[in-house]
Structure 1
């Protein structure tokens, strides 16, 4: 009978060892879950960092495109300046043409005036010759 009690107590001790081992297994499992959740958190941090990198890259592309747009606006403004300058040259040449036409008209006036003086002299000489 004592051997039976001893065996029973050994069985209880073994059962308690099993419970202890089971609880250690649960602890280990919970540590695994904690580690897994830390891995998920780290993964999400990586995704967040990647998305921030993509956002930064897109901002860089946007800034670059704005720079290209500004550069093209500068080229457009420069070409408008060239067009305006050429229009100024054209206007200046038209002014020179107008000035030369004025000189031609003035010389025609001088010629007409000299013709009138010559005519008046001829008439005066003729009138004086008749008197």
Structure 2
């Protein structure tokens, strides 16, 4: 694990009860949770999974995975074909989402980081389907 990924994982572990990391297939995978879901989503709290490439933090993160049983007003959310299947147990649904204003710096506390990326997931969920 490189120093940047190690620092990012440490930051995620400060803020989430669950923070797992796996490096496989040239991707850095993270599973974090629980994340509180906005109104009209069920269940109320979920884990989320995402990956970043070897080019992190220069490469902008894209999309994240939610449990396949997550629903919005009783219906599954819109999804896109998953570019990769997560290396974590369970069935996952891929939601399209793009980081806005991604500006990483050498110091994760002053620039964009994966904790900020995860916190943005609730914005995607607030969009509903």
Q: Please, what TM-score do these two structures have when normalized by structure 1?
A: 0.14
Report which of the two has the higher share of helix: 1
- Which structure has the greater CA radius of gyration? 1
Report which of the two has the higher share of strand: 2
Structure with more relative contact order (C-alpha pairs < 8 Å, separation 6 or more): 2
Q: Please, what TM-score do these two structures have when normalized by structure 2?
A: 0.14
